[in-house]
């Protein structure tokens, strides 16, 4: 709607009217001037301004006090505070609100900061609170909008993402259970924190207050507080988003994600979720610094790619069909928001979608669509007023109306230019006229006389000047004058109100009103005009006039003279020139026998450029005239133009915007499509007209062009004048008729575009690799999986025997033939490999790994963390998977660390590089496991000495802790068996009960023989069999125990002496256990060592005297047996999975290289594929580095040429004093996986841990703080 | 006596290394060589010179006196009185392997603080010398030498100039017995020149660069001080002695900044072992060393191939810190650390490869090199890295690193290529002394196999 009017009352929109409210040029009412609205409405004149529904930020974190320690019903975990609400403290602070208003927001959903269950959010007004303490506070539109949940860690339990997920799971489970108990009347105590988590949709819900309404205590439903609305999961990366979705769905909760900004990296996975909504941040990474060789060396490809792709995230999310609203959350500085919205639009998002994401979408997601998000009657009067399209860089946000109250964001500097009529009290001194020029020159007129003002200043809306009155009458001396400017919305001064001091010291009040039409000044200048629809030969002809002011002793007079094409004066033929109130009149004498023409034109000085409209009367004939004013400078016509308005011949084409004009130094090219050619029809070749006789004289372009293609005859003579980015052309046809057209300048080609970041968007790859980053599978490159894989002429180590010149055929992931002789059946869709001279084996299985675990390998926050699950945090994207595939490893056991005696649940994985769904890494049907740990680690012996005050600190305590928990688990199992309907589900005891039931295996980190024997006793007493002993360095001392009480031992081939409890480790240890009949395997416990497990196996031959076959089974069949996956993997047999490794020679030789690896029959690594990856990586790195280097130059130029930029408005937070910069240690869980990994990597580099060593990696993982301290020490030390 | 020896000579090589009853850390160190020894019926890999497929080697008083080819019978030279002739039964003889960068003897169990003597306080402690603190009864020494690593450089760790590099043999009663060269040079840890920038960093990149600049200036001042000190001591022998600067005398030349021929008067006899990994560190360190006419060795060298032209032109060798590392970046090739030696070789840079792992795992040195061979390094270059190239870079090539007449009889007899895991080291001599290859680990294996035997479980072998 244009020229519309919005009427607000009491904070609501009461009317939205089309058309203009007042007369043209009217600026406000009397009430407006006084700034009061005692009676009628206050009119805000927004001519030339744009009005939008103000924005809504759906996620703004604020500090809210934690529940006091002695509060009843407080949850045992300090991070679980769902009962908190965002309004518990002071609500949103004015500085934050002001910062948001500046960006166009009028409402924000505020939510408590910190913790796992953070509390209930509230949608609040961002109005500035009145200074009047008795006035109403800004509105709270809705409370308890959603419950914010994050997988945040730090300060005890949870200390890992998997721990946080486990805590969330237990709490949601407790909420369901507790609600059931309350409904059944078995639980009658006062409300506690968990009650705040009862789902709105909980069964038995007795009250339907609607979402987020507080139930009244004592209303018969018990003192149960409000039931929770949806959950908003704060997700730091795309994998965490999938985790949040999974947990929410597990409990049937409605949810929204606070997005990460990296959704694009796994969009296919997210898009699988129907009706997904994301609060989308615009946290685009800074451009990586690649300015030096060293910086380039230190920059990861993924970092470069993320920088380039991030701004496409919103458009990609949109294209994936995911609902989203923008939030300012996660920005480094909130002020980056506007620029980043613009960047998202450059990245492919439509402006309409961007606007929706700021208005209707957040309104909808917050269930406030009926009250907010659009400019409609009945909605909250939250409006944003801008002076240009809302997403234009140059547009200024003028005001934001919050609940109908204007908050001025930017007031243009007052302009007083024009003519004024001064009223003096009493009329004693007669009327004066005042002219103020653009340069703030002041001239005071009385009658025909005038004097120049002196000491003129126009500051902060106050005009001051002096003038010598003597020039005006006989009074001698200097008058001093000052007045305040009362301005309209565009900064135009409408009224002057002030005081003066006469030479004799007497004071007087004066005021001045603007002459309605303005001044002579508005008319002076050069005008290009034309006659609308005039006949040929009309007088005057289209052309150029210059309006001048001539001053002499008598005052001044106006002159109008005609300029020729050469800009030289041709005539000064105008007579009776009058200029008043923006109306210019004059007469032009015709040639011989021609009548006098009277010209009357009205100047519109607010138009850009200033324009005039009027008529020429010649006798009775009236011809309309139009013209535009030239600016002082001459704009060049060179460049490309798009015609936006036209009449005459050109108008005949339905779509004039299809006409482009390219102006070169000696040529003009017109390109267009005929009306029957669709504009968007790129296939249709545009028609081209070449102009000739091209001449350019400053801002004037003349040329001729044939009319044939446009449907006319002959040649059109065109004359066009350029004013900045606007071109007005007059086309004179052979019949003498003239037609006018307007065109706007098209953006210069990208390479010259220096004022924005358009260069960033050139050549962005559409398709992304999966995983996002190096070695990811790229569409059509490495994703093909043939139906058959046939490997011939290989020396095959099946794991049972050696087959020379053997053949293996796999079909759809399974081995269907191993042997020699008969040719097996296969079809054309076959990958055929001649493996003459090569060795084919089953893929290696690593029974102890910590690869691909997000957000911490240890949940060390408690001594028992059986509830945490590695499966929750599988990260399929770490490049370590690929590197291990390159070493023939195809399956592994991902284990929790050994920080505590009863650790988390383990996950057996297959290395399916490039999966969309992280869970697809999980080995189907593998028996569940859990990590236990004995010895130095769970007793904290290598740390402070007291294990952080956590029991146990001795091997004696470890035993009792384990016995205690198994005792509890036994009782729990009994309880569940007898009363499964009402027993509270205990996620910690559940897996322990599974161990007792034999459905879950313990993988126990153990070193010394005493502790091994201890656990064997426990197993015997509780009647279960241990899965494996891990590390088991002294297992050879008690090999019979290992054999009898467990599924065997898995350990290092020869590692020892890195700590006291491994001083008796020997490389013959595991082979001795093998001799005693235990199932034994070698493992890595290290992403680096995992890369050479084949050679580790050879150490069994060297130190333990194993046969080649037995040694090879140490890294294939034996770990498969230990993990109970030997039915599918571990040997090459018909019916087993086609998990294969192809070696250049004897797999036990240090000189043999893995040349190819298959998982489920898919080749996921080969030397050839790897070479392709490397070539792509090199090319992509260079492309991006060059883009950054070239771009940073452009940016520099752009910044130079740019305007001073937005005026800082209210709420801009000043940078803190240097002393206040505090060391910030964000917990790793608040960063993205990638950022976290990068940081760890860099820290490790700084510390000098080039790579993790076995026994250090997961089992004794350094904390972030330890690493940081070490890094800083190392850096200090290195200097 | 002679009879006994003859009886020994008639035995096989396996018979003569029957282990003593005790683990080596409680065991007896090797006695000095008394009789001349001839090892025959072996493939000899002298490293310098061609392989001798069916050869013998004779050494006396700890030095090699003769090598030659023959058949599988005792060579004539070894039938004389005073000779012990040992049939190697087709085994292979290599020089003892040399570990070019370790902390053997300075650290027993990493996690036990009390056993660690690798670092001294203070950033500039050039006076401290590892040979002083090597524990001759460390259990790590027998474990390491059992796989053929018989010589090692032991290096001080810590600050900017943390101390010296000592060269030891891995068998001896006392530190004096162990020491080959108490001071082979100085360790210089070059400042990090690559700025870090990640969330939580306190120091700005600009401040980091400033700190680096200051640190490099401080190194320069130290070397200038040493030169001035030496000049002062030369011109005025009564000027006070400073142990720190005395310790650096061998690495810092004195005299006019540049002689008439552009070279300083007294070229240093010892190397400065500069720990530097990144391109800019290596560039800066080599330039620094060139300005001061230092003899340099780069230690680390992760990006040394990118400075190969400079390193080759200045003839600065590199001690590559291992191959069993992870690539520097996620997008780097998976084999980036594996192929570094091959890339250095192709560029003509001299180098040797250190194991660069925990001290306790130094025995795996040959496999660290094997990984480089697997990924493109010439097999011969791999062997040289383990022997003569290491010896040359450490300055002990006159006596160690190859089998040549006149050199130390520090050698191993193996069943094959020492870079293959399944190869067994059957015998080892250090300066002609027969070394006990048993160790704590072999004894523990024996002990607990005995337990299994006693309780009637499968006793194995």
Average pLDDT on B90-96 reads 97
Say if residue B28 is exposed, middle or buried (CB neighbours under 10 Å; 0-12, 13-18, 19+).
exposed
User: Tens digit of pLDDT for each residue in A230-242?
Assistant: 899 999 899 999 9
Residue B293 contacts by C-beta under 8 Å, 6 or more apart in sequence? B253, B263, B264, B267, B268
Q: Residue B441 is nearest to which of A774, A1066, A1071, comparing CB atoms?
A: A1066
Report CB contact under 8 Å: A1150, B200. no
User: Tens digit of pLDDT for each residue in A303-335?
Assistant: 999 999 999 999 999 999 999 999 999 998 999
What distance in Å separates residue A1088's CA from the closest CA in chain B? 6
What distance in Å separates residue A876's CA from the closest CA in chain B? 14
Q: State the first-to-last Cα distance of chain B, in angstroms, to the nearest integer.
A: 34
User: B109 and B160 in contact (C-beta within 8 Å)?
Assistant: no
Mean pLDDT across chain A = 81
User: B354 and B366 in contact (C-beta within 8 Å)?
Assistant: no
Show the tokens assigned to A1239: 């940081």
For A659-672, letters b (16+ CB in 10 Å) and e give: bbbbbeeeebebeb
Q: State the first-to-last Cα distance of chain A, in angstroms, to the nearest integer.
A: 66
> Which residues of chain A are within 8 Å of residue B200 when distances are taken between CB atoms?
1223-1226, 1239, 1268
- How far apart (Å, rounded) are the C-alpha atoms in residues A698 and A565? 11
What distance in Å separates residue B210's CA from the closest CA in chain A? 10
Helix/strand/coil for A1122:
helix
Token match 């190869």: residue? B423
User: A1079 and A1050 in contact (C-beta within 8 Å)?
Assistant: no
Give pTM, 2 decimals. 0.81
Report CB contact under 8 Å: A1036, B203. no
Q: Residue A1068 is nearest to which of B193, B374, B445, comparing CB atoms?
A: B445
Residue of chain B with shortest Cα separation from A886: B334
Report CB contact under 8 Å: B448, A1072. yes
For residue A1155, what are the CA distances in angstroms to A885, A910, A1170? 10, 19, 10
For residue A296, what are the CA distances in angstroms to A290, A300, A313, B302? 5, 8, 25, 16
Average pLDDT on A572-582 reads 68
DSSP state of B130: G
For residue A780, what are the CA distances in angstroms to A770, A783, A879? 12, 6, 20
Report CB contact under 8 Å: A1039, B303. no
- How far apart (Å, rounded) are the C-alpha atoms in residues B116 and A1058? 12
Report CB contact under 8 Å: B452, A886. no
Q: Which of A1038, A1039, A1057 to mutate to test the interface with B (most CBs of B within 10 A)?
A: A1057
User: A234 and A150 in contact (C-beta within 8 Å)?
Assistant: yes
Q: Residue B334 is nearest to which of A886, A1067, A1253, comparing CB atoms?
A: A886
Q: Residue A294 is nearest to which of B110, B280, B361, comparing CB atoms?
A: B280
Q: Residue A1067 is nearest to which of B189, B321, B441, comparing CB atoms?
A: B441
Kindly write down the DSSP assignment for every residue of A372-427, as one continuous string: SSS--TTSB--EEEESS-TT-TT--EEEEEETTEEEES--PPPB--EEEEEE-GGG
What distance in Å separates residue B86's CA from the closest CA in chain A? 24
Q: Single out the residue of A786, A796, A795 nearest to residue A832, CA to CA.
A: A786
Residue of chain A with shortest Cα separation from B158: A1277
Q: How confident is the model at residue A995 (pLDDT cuts 50, 70, 90)?
A: very high
Residue A319 contacts by C-beta under 8 Å, 6 or more apart in sequence? none
Residue of chain B with shortest Cα separation from A294: B194
User: Tens digit of pLDDT for each residue in A621-658?
Assistant: 777 777 777 655 446 777 888 887 776 555 444 444 46
Q: Which of A1038, A1052, A1072 to mutate to test the interface with B (most CBs of B within 10 A)?
A: A1072
User: B17 and B437 in contact (C-beta within 8 Å)?
Assistant: yes
- How far apart (Å, rounded) are the C-alpha atoms in residues B355 and B322? 5
What distance in Å separates residue B162's CA from the closest CA in chain A? 11
> Which residues of chain B are within 8 Å of residue A1103 when distances are taken between CB atoms?
441
Helix/strand/coil for A521:
helix
Is A1219 or A1196 the better-scoring residue by pLDDT?
A1196
In the predicted structure, residue A700 carries a pLDDT above the cut 90: no
User: A915 and A991 in contact (C-beta within 8 Å)?
Assistant: no
Q: How confident is the model at residue A1256 (pLDDT cuts 50, 70, 90)?
A: very low
Residue of chain B with shortest Cα separation from A1145: B374
- How far apart (Å, rounded) are the C-alpha atoms in residues A253 and A265? 25
Residue B270 contacts by C-beta under 8 Å, 6 or more apart in sequence? B183, B184, B185, B186, B250, B251, B295, B395
User: A103 and A91 in contact (C-beta within 8 Å)?
Assistant: no
Report CB contact under 8 Å: A1077, B203. no
The H or E element containing residue A166 is: helix A161-183
Report CB contact under 8 Å: B452, A1250. no
Lowest mean pLDDT among A341-345, A555-559, A1243-1247: A1243-1247
- How far apart (Å, rounded) are the C-alpha atoms in residues A1188 and A289? 8
Report CB contact under 8 Å: B202, A301. no
Is B415 or A475 the better-scoring residue by pLDDT?
B415
| Strand-by-strand arrangement of the A1049-1051 sheet | A844-849, A889-894, A902-910, A929-933, A1001-1006, A1028-1031, A1049-1051, A1080-1082
Helix/strand/coil for A115:
coil
* The pLDDT value given to residue A606: 60
* The pLDDT value given to residue A342: 94
Give ipTM to 2 decimals: 0.93
Average pLDDT on B441-450 reads 94
Q: Residues A1155, A1067, B14, CA angle at the centre, nearest 5°?
A: 100
Residue A1108 contacts by C-beta under 8 Å, 6 or more apart in sequence? A1101, A1148
User: Tens digit of pLDDT for each residue in A374-384?
Assistant: 999 999 999 99
What distance in Å separates residue B447's CA from the closest CA in chain A? 9
Report CB contact under 8 Å: A1279, B191. yes
Residue B130 contacts by C-beta under 8 Å, 6 or more apart in sequence? B103, B105, B106, B154, B155, B156, B163, B164, B165, B166
- How far apart (Å, rounded) are the C-alpha atoms in residues A461 and B362? 82
Report CB contact under 8 Å: B192, A1279. yes
Q: Is the peptide bond before A1248 cis (omega within 30 degrees of 0)?
A: no
Q: Which of B448, B452, B457 to mutate to test the interface with A (most CBs of A within 10 A)?
A: B448
Report CB contact under 8 Å: A1226, B421. no
Report CB contact under 8 Å: B421, A1151. no
Report CB contact under 8 Å: B360, A1170. no
User: A709 and A687 in contact (C-beta within 8 Å)?
Assistant: yes
Measured from the Cβ of residue B84, the count of other Cβ atoms closer than 10 Å reads 19
In the predicted structure, residue A226 carries a pLDDT above the cut 70: no
User: Tens digit of pLDDT for each residue in A524-565?
Assistant: 777 777 776 655 555 556 677 777 766 555 556 677 777 666
The H or E element containing residue A1150 is: none
Residue of chain A with shortest Cα separation from B441: A1066
Q: How confident is the model at residue A1248 (pLDDT cuts 50, 70, 90)?
A: very low
- How far apart (Å, rounded) are the C-alpha atoms in residues A613 and A530? 10
What distance in Å separates residue B198's CA from the closest CA in chain A? 6
For A726-745, letters b (16+ CB in 10 Å) and e give: bbbbbbbbeeeebbbbbbeb
What distance in Å separates residue B110's CA from the closest CA in chain A? 5
Report CB contact under 8 Å: A1057, B108. yes
Helix/strand/coil for A263:
helix
What distance in Å separates residue A990's CA from the closest CA in chain B? 36
Q: Single out the residue of A384, A465, A362, A468 nearest to residue A141, CA to CA.
A: A362
User: A1122 and A1047 in contact (C-beta within 8 Å)?
Assistant: yes
Residue of chain B with shortest Cα separation from A1275: B192
- How far apart (Å, rounded) are the C-alpha atoms in residues A1111 and A160? 37
The H or E element containing residue A584 is: strand A583-588
Q: Is the peptide bond before A771 cis (omega within 30 degrees of 0)?
A: yes
Which range among A36-50, A712-726, B120-134 has the greatest average pLDDT?
Answer: B120-134
For residue B39, what are the CA distances in angstroms to B109, B147, B387? 37, 19, 20
Residue A269 contacts by C-beta under 8 Å, 6 or more apart in sequence? A238, A242, A916, A917, A918
> Which residues of chain B are within 8 Å of residue A1082 when distances are taken between CB atoms?
none
In the predicted structure, residue A590 carries a pLDDT above the cut 70: no
> Which residues of chain A are within 8 Å of residue B367 when distances are taken between CB atoms?
1095, 1150
For residue B168, what are the CA distances in angstroms to A583, B289, B413, B436? 105, 27, 20, 17
Token match 């910086």: residue? A295
> Helix B365-374 vs helix B379-386: angle between axes, to the nearest 10 degrees?
160
Average pLDDT on A982-1002 reads 96
Side-chain-facing half-sphere of B284: CA atoms under 13 Å: 22
> Which residues of chain B are within 8 Å of residue A1243 when distances are taken between CB atoms?
198
- How far apart (Å, rounded) are the C-alpha atoms in residues A852 and A365? 34
Q: Single out the residue of B181, B184, B190, B183 nearest to residue B161, CA to CA.
A: B190
Q: Residue B360 is nearest to which of A1040, A1057, A1275, comparing CB atoms?
A: A1057
Backbone angles phi, psi at A370, to 5 degrees: -75, -15
């Amino acid at each position: 709607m244009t020229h519309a009017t919005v009427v607000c009352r009491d904070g609501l929109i009461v009317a939205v009217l089309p058309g203009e409210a007042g007369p043209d040029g009217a600026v406000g009412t009397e009430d407006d001037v006084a700034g009061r609205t005692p009676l009628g409405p206050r009119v805000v004149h927004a001519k030339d301004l744009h009005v939008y529904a103000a924005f809504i930020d759906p996620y703004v974190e604020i500090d809210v006090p934690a529940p006091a320690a002695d509060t009843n019903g407080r949850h045992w975990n300090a991070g679980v505070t769902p009962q908190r609400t965002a309004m518990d403290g002071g609500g949103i602070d004015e500085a934050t609100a002001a910062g948001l208003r500046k960006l166009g927001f009028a409402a924000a959903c505020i939510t408590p900061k910190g913790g796992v269950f953070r509390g209930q959010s509230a949608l609040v007004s961002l109005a500035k609170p009145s200074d009047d303490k008795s006035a109403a506070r800004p509105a709270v539109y809705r409370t308890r909008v959603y419950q914010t949940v994050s997988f945040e860690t730090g300060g005890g339990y949870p200390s890992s993402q998997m721990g946080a997920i486990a805590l969330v799971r237990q709490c949601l489970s407790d909420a369901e259970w507790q609600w059931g108990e309350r409904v059944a009347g078995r639980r009658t105590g006062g409300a506690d924190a968990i009650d705040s988590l009862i789902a709105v949709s909980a069964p038995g819900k007795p009250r339907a207050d609607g979402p987020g309404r507080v139930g009244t205590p004592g209303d018969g439903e018990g003192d149960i507080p409000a039931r929770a609305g949806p959950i908003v999961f704060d997700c730091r990366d795309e994998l965490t988003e999938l985790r949040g979705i999974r947990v929410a769905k597990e409990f049937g909760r409605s949810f929204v994600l606070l997005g990460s900004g990296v959704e694009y990296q796994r969009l296919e996975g997210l898009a699988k979720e129907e009706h997904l909504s994301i609060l989308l941040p615009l946290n685009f990474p800074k451009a990586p610094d690649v300015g030096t060789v060293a910086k380039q060396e230190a920059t990861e490809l993924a970092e470069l790619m993320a920088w380039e792709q991030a701004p496409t995230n919103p458009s990609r999310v949109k294209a994936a069909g995911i609902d989203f609203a923008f939030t300012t959350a996660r920005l480094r500085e909130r002020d980056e928001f506007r620029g980043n919205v613009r960047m998202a639009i450059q990245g492919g998002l439509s402006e309409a979608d961007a606007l929706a994401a700021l208005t209707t979408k957040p309104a909808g997601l917050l269930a406030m669509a009926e009250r907010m998000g659009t400019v409609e009657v009945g909605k909250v009067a939250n409006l944003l007023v801008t002076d240009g399209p809302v997403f234009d860089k140059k547009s200024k946000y003028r005001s934001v109306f919050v609940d109908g109250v204007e908050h001025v964001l930017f007031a243009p500097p007052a302009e007083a230019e024009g003519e004024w009529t001064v009223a003096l009290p009493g009329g004693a001194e007669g009327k004066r006229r005042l002219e103020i020029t653009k340069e703030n020159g002041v001239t005071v007129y009385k009658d025909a006389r005038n004097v120049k003002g002196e000491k003129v200043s126009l500051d902060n809306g106050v005009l001051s000047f002096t003038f010598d009155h003597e020039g005006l009458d006989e009074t001698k001396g200097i008058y001093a004058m000052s007045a305040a400017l009362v301005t309209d919305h565009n900064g135009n001064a409408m009224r002057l109100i002030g005081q003066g001091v006469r030479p004799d010291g007497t004071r007087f009040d004066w005021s001045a009103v603007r002459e309605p039409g303005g001044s002579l000044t508005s008319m002076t200048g050069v005008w290009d005009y034309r006659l609308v629809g005039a006949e040929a030969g009309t007088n005057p002809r289209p052309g150029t006039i210059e309006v001048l002011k001539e001053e002499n002793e008598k005052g001044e007079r106006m002159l109008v003279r005609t300029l020729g094409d050469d800009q030289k004066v041709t005539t000064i033929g105008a007579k009776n020139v009058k200029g008043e109130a923006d109306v210019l009149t004059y007469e032009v004498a015709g040639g011989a026998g021609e009548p006098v023409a009277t010209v009357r034109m009205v100047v519109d000085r607010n138009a850009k450029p200033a324009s005039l409209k009027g008529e020429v009367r010649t006798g009775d004939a009236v011809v309309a005239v139009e013209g535009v004013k030239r600016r002082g400078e001459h704009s060049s016509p060179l460049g490309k133009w798009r015609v936006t308005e036209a009449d005459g011949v050109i108008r005949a084409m339905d779509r004039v915007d299809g006409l482009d004009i390219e102006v070169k130094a000696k040529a003009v090219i017109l390109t267009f499509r005929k009306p029957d050619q669709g504009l968007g029809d790129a296939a249709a070749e545009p028609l081209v007209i070449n102009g000739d006789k091209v001449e350019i004289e400053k801002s004037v372009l003349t040329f001729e062009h044939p009319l044939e293609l446009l449907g006319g005859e002959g040649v059109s003579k065109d004359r066009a004048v350029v004013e900045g980015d606007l071109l007005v052309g007059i086309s004179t046809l052979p019949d003498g008729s003239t037609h006018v057209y307007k065109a706007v300048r098209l953006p210069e080609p990208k390479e010259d575009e220096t004022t924005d970041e358009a260069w960033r968007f050139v050549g962005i790859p559409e398709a992304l690799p999966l995983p996002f980053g190096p070695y990811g599978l790229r569409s059509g490159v490495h994703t093909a999986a043939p139906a058959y894989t046939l490997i011939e002429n290989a020396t095959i180590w099946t794991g049972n025997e050696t087959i020379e010149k053997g053949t293996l055929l796999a079909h759809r992931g399974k081995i269907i033939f191993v042997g020699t002789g008969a040719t097996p059946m296969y079809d054309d869709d076959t990958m055929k490999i001649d493996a003459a001279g090569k060795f084919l084996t089953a893929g290696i299985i690593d029974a102890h790994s910590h690869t691909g675990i997000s957000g911490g390998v240890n949940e060390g926050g408690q001594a028992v963390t059986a509830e945490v699950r590695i499966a929750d945090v599988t990260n399929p994207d770490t490049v370590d998977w690929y590197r291990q595939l390159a070493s023939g490893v195809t399956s592994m056991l991902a284990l929790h660390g050994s920080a505590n005696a009863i650790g988390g649940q383990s996950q057996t994985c297959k290395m399916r590089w490039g999966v969309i769904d992280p869970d697809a890494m999980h080995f189907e049907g593998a028996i569940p496991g859990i990590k236990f740990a004995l010895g130095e680690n769970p007793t904290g012996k290598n740390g402070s000495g007291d294990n952080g005050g956590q029991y146990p600190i001795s091997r004696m305590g470890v035993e009792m802790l384990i016995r205690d928990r198994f005792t509890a688990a036994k009782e729990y199992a009994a309880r569940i068996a007898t009363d499964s309907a009402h027993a509270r589900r205990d996620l910690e005891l559940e897996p322990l009960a599974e161990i007792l039931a034999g459905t879950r295996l313990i993988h126990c980190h153990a070193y010394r023989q005493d502790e091994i024997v201890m656990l064997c006793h426990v197993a015997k007493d509780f009647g279960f069999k241990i899965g494996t002993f891990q590390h088991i360095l002294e297992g050879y001392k008690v090999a019979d125990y290992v054999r009898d009480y467990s599924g065997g031992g898995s350990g290092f081939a020869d590692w020892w002496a890195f700590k006291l409890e491994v001083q008796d480790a020997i490389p013959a240890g595991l082979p001795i256990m093998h001799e005693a009949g235990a199932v034994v395997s070698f493992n890595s416990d290290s992403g680096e060592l995992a890369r050479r497990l084949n050679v580790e196996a050879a150490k069994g031959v060297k130190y333990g005297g194993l046969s080649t076959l037995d040694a090879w089974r140490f890294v294939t069949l034996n770990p498969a047996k230990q993990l109970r996956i030997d039915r599918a993997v571990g040997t090459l047999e018909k019916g087993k999975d086609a998990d294969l490794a192809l070696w250049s020679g004897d797999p036990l030789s240090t000189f043999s290289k893995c040349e190819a690896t298959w998982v489920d029959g898919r080749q996921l690594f080969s030397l050839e594929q790897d070479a392709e990856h490397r070539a792509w990586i090199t090319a992509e790195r260079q492309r991006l580095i060059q883009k950054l280097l070239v771009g940073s130059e452009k940016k520099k130029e752009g910044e130079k040429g740019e305007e001073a930029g937005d005026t800082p408005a209210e709420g801009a937070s000043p940078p803190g004093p240097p002393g206040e910069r505090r060391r910030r240690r964000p917990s790793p869980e608040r960063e993205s996986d990638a950022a976290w990994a990068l940081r760890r990597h860099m820290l490790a580099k700084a510390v000098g841990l080039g790579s993790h060593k076995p026994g250090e990696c997961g089992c004794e993982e350094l904390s972030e703080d330890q690493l940081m301290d070490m890094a800083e020490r190392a850096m200090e030390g290195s200097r | 006596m002679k009879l006994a020896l003859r009886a020994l000579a008639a035995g096989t090589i396996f018979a003569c290394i029957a282990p003593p009853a005790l683990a080596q850390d409680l065991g007896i160190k090797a006695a000095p060589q008394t009789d001349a020894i001839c090892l025959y019926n072996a493939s000899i890999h002298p490293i310098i010179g061609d392989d001798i497929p069916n050869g013998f080697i004779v050494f006396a008083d700890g030095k090699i006196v003769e090598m030659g080819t023959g058949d599988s019978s005792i060579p004539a030279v070894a039938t004389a009185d005073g000779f012990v002739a040992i049939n190697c039964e087709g085994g292979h003889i290599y020089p003892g392997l040399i570990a070019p960068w370790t902390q053997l003897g300075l650290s027993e169990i990493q996690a036990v603080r009390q056993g660690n003597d690798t670092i001294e306080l203070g950033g500039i402690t050039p006076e401290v010398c590892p040979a002083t603190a090597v524990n001759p009864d460390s259990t790590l020494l027998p474990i390491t030498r059992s796989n053929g690593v018989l010589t090692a450089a032991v290096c001080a760790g810590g600050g900017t100039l943390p101390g010296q590099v000592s060269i030891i043999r891995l068998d001896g009663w006392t530190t004096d017995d162990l020491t080959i060269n108490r001071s082979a040079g100085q360790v210089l840890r070059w400042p990090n020149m690559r700025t870090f920038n990640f969330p939580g960093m306190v120091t700005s990149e600009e401040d980091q660069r400033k700190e680096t600049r200051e640190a490099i200036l401080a190194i320069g001042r130290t070397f200038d001080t040493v030169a001035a000190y030496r000049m002062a001591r030369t011109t005025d022998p009564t000027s006070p002695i400073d142990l720190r600067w005395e310790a650096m005398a061998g690495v810092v030349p004195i005299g006019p900044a540049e002689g008439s021929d552009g070279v300083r008067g007294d070229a240093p006899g010892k190397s400065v072992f500069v720990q530097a990994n990144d391109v800019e560190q290596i560039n800066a360190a080599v330039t620094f060393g060139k300005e001061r006419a230092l003899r340099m060795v780069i230690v680390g060298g992760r990006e040394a191939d990118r400075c190969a032209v400079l390193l080759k032109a200045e003839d600065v060798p590199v001690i590559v810190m291992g191959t069993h590392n992870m690539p520097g970046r996620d997008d780097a090739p998976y084999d980036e650390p594996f192929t570094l030696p091959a890339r250095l070789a192709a560029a003509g840079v001299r180098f040797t490869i250190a194991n660069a792992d925990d001290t306790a795992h130094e025995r795996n040195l040959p496999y660290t090199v094997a990984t480089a061979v697997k990924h493109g390094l010439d097999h011969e270059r791999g062997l040289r890295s383990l022997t003569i190239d290491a010896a040359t870079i450490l300055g002990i090539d006159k006596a160690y690193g190859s089998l040549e007449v006149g050199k130390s009889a520090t050698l191993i007899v193996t069943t094959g290529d020492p870079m293959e895991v399944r190869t067994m080291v059957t015998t080892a001599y250090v300066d002609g002394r027969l070394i006990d290859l048993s160790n704590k680990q072999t004894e523990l294996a024996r002990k607990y196999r005995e337990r299994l035997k006693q309780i009637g479980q499968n006793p194995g072998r």
